[in-house]
Amino acid sequence: MEINREELDELRLKAITAFDGLWFLAAERRLGFEKAIELDLEVWKEYGLVMPNRLGKILGIGLGHEGLPGLTMVNIFIETICRIDGTRCSGKLGDDNIIFTIDDCSWWENMSRSGREKSSRART
């Protein structure tokens, strides 16, 4: 019996969330909540730098200072990066801004299920 591509993709999404949650809980046990959340935020900031560069390479778009993308491309980047972990968001383009709406976030759902959404909200 083999799993199909869709099932494998679903497993990957769940693996990302599980790995992140398990890492955080281990850091929290060893360092306490405050230090663990500091590390977690540091990692997510780095992730926010790595993924646009990887996506830019796939799309053939350079992200150096000489060729910054327009808002339409920024919108595509953010919506695509969110889709990697199963988050659903949409951006509404204005003349000089984008307003993003998060429609579904597995990270927040996990925090809510564990009763931690209030403690994380105060820090974001």
pTM for the whole structure: 0.67
Please give the pLDDT value at position 120.
52
56, pLDDT greater than 70: yes
Alpha-carbon Rg of the chain, whole angstroms? 17
The Cα-based distances of 78 to 21, 31, 75, 97, 112 in angstroms read 22, 32, 5, 13, 24
pLDDT tens digits, 59-118: 887 776 666 667 888 888 888 888 888 888 999 999 889 999 999 887 788 778 877 766
